[in-house]
Chains A and B, each alone.
Chain A
Amino acid sequence: MNAFFLAISYLRFHWARSLVLIVVTALILSVPIISQVLLNGSQTALTERAEATPLVLGSRGSQLDLAMNALYFSDDRANPVTMADADAIWDSGLGLPIPLNTAFETNGARIIGTSVEYFEFRGLNVAQGRQIALLGEAVLGASVAERLGLVPGDTVVSAPQNLFDLDGVYPLELNIVGVLAPTGTPDDEAVFVDIKTSWVIAGIGHGHDGVLAEGATSDDIVANAAIVEFNRITDDNIDSFHFHGDPADYPVSAVVLVPNDARAATMLRGRYLDADNPVQIIVPRDVIGELVGRIFRIKSLLDAVTLIVGGAALAAVGLAIFLSYRLRAREMQTAFKIGARKSMILQLIGAETILILCIAGVIAIALTFAVQTNGSTIVAWLLAT
């Protein structure tokens, strides 16, 4: 008996049922492996980046939120600190402060306002175009550039913070001057601008038409609602851009600190131990290490849940196959009368089960391979959301 021919014919005829069985089986096979791959990837990504970041300064509150925001640009943002806090580190001479303003987005990617030291600190190299030089310029992470299909010379617009706040921050069109080489880190998913450009996006700095009448003195300000405020910084209008208020008060989401040495790091940490101080310094390695430990404790629980759910799903698949053969009793009876062996049903069950398992196995391997191949991108995305 050509069991496989009959099995293939049966599976094709009942394609919807077969599809459900194959998809469920593929998921049962692949989900535990994929979760393990992603967890291992997450652990590596989390740990590597945390260990590469000595200290982070930020608003007192959740250390985990601060670390996730400063390292992985996640949405978990604590209250901002100010440039004065970053300057205080600089003035102490104990280390290099690298400010990060992560408050804005564009096309689903985080806009990171920072200083040029960040690129050197993270080892980020420009693969196309050049590095940021002027206000309003941006360099894109490799994944963002690929996803949005953008190259140097294009522009990207920052997302408005609130669609219904007409008096709020207006989008700024950023000039893309470079694309970074891929690193397999959250930097691939970010759009980098100078910290001052991020303050322009925040509305602290802006450029507009002249507000003095022709031939008037500085006391004759004629500004009104008709004045055009620029939403793109160009060679023609860049000189009109200016900032209001005390630069020391400008907001910074977090400050990456690169201490001069271990002693400097200890001294810096000691200065911010006071619980009443609204600013804190964290050691990302410790914070993320604790998180990873928790993740793997939860993973053990998830493994147990996956085992139970997988077992239940397998039982359901088995029941579906069993019931389908109950429904085919008449067919088996006919085959027996015509001359088939009674074991034909076992051969058909075997052939159909093997086919379902093989197809599901191929799908599971393909899924796992796809996840493994794009693991770093998926992990970076998972960490950023």
Chain B
Amino acid sequence: MIAINDLTFAYPDSDFRLNIPSLVLEPGEKVAVVGPSGTGKTTLLNLIAGIAVPQSGTVRLGDVTVSNMGDADRRSLRAGRIGFVFQDFALLEYLTARENILFPYRIAAGAKIDDAARTRAVQLAQSCGLEGKLDRRPGALSQGEQQRVALCRSLIMKPDLVLADEATGNLDPANKVAILDLLFARTSEQGATLLAVTHDHELLPRFDRVIDFAIFRDAGEHAA
């Protein structure tokens, strides 16, 4: 479960201010975050992941309070319990699809790429329709395939939470649906919570819940 209470955040030298009195995501819940650009949707993901630290309030992920953790612990939390999917895929061009999927193992402290990890990478890739493409580099893959690789990378460490930041933003309509199908299916299999920032309103009915950042703005608590 993710629980945010009385959270306030502001960037230095900026009039941007984010106030979230209360926000709770249940385990396994699929939640979409919508709202105009610059309202703090990505900032919310960064705060939950411990990339940014709130000025006040708490962010809890399961049994740990992210906002109180030290830098190393938050890094460790991201590497082990949170998966990221980015709009621009953010794959390493010089690694194959297989090595991109296994990349979190290379940066997570204490993680080791063993046979089990390799097998899991192959299984994930197969479940995302990447058979026969594991040894290709991103430059040799289509955009839809690159996002599938990024999706596999986000799930390889069996995270409790997957944060998707405009994950379908660079894809054509067919691939948008396909990637969202995969995102839903794979996170459901793992029982992971999905929090997805999106501008694609036609996809919203598929989520369990939609958080419109306008409610924070309407409440006068959030200034973009």
A-side residues, CB < 8 A to B, are 1-2, 5-6, 9-10, 12-14, 330-331, 334-341, 344
Contacts and interface: CB of A to CB of B under 8 A. Distances in A.
A98 to B, nearest CB: 67
Interface residues of B, number: 24
Interface stretch (B104-112, B127-135, B204-212, B215-223): B104-112
Contacts of A1: 106-107
A338 B104 contact: yes
Contacts of A341: 75, 107
**From DSSP, what is the main secondary structure of chain B's interface residues?**
helix
Contact of A339 (B80, B86, B92, B93): B80
B92 A5 contact: no
B77 to A, nearest CB: 8
A339 B79 contact: yes
A155 to B, nearest CB: 58
Interface string B88-111: 001011110001000110111000
A13 B99 CA distance: 13
Contacts of B153: 338
A335 B137 CA distance: 18
Contacts of A13: 93-94, 137
B43 interface: no
Nearest to A333: B90
Given A9-B99, A13-B137, A339 B104 contact: yes
Contacts of A335: 103, 107
Contacts, number: 53
Interface string B37-62: 00000000000010100000000000
Interface of B: 49, 51, 75-80, 82, 84, 86, 90, 92-95, 99, 103-104, 106-108, 137, 153
26 contacts: A2-B106, A6-B92, A6-B95, A9-B92, A9-B94, A9-B99, A10-B94, A12-B94, A13-B137, A14-B94, A331-B90, A334-B90, A337-B78, A337-B84, A338-B78, A338-B84, A338-B103, A339-B75, A339-B78, A339-B79, A339-B80, A339-B82, A339-B104, A339-B107, A340-B75, A340-B107
Nearest to A2: B106
Contacts of B108: 339
Contacts of A14: 94
Given A14-B94, A334-B86, 15 more contacts: A6-B92, A6-B106, A10-B94, A13-B93, A13-B94, A13-B137, A331-B90, A331-B92, A334-B90, A337-B49, A338-B84, A338-B103, A338-B153, A339-B80, A341-B107
Contacts of A330: 90
Contacts of A340: 75, 79, 107
B107 A344 contact: yes
Nearest to B96: A9
Contacts of B51: 336-337
Contacts of B77: 339
Contacts of A331: 90, 92
A277 to B, nearest CB: 75
Q: Considering the complex of A and B, which 4 residue pairs feature the smallest CB-CB distances, nearest first? A: A339-B79, A13-B94, A340-B107, A334-B90
Contacts of B107: 1, 335, 338-341, 344
A341 B76 CA distance: 9
Nearest to B94: A13
A338 B49 CA distance: 9
A336 B74 CA distance: 11
Contacts of B92: 6, 9, 331, 334
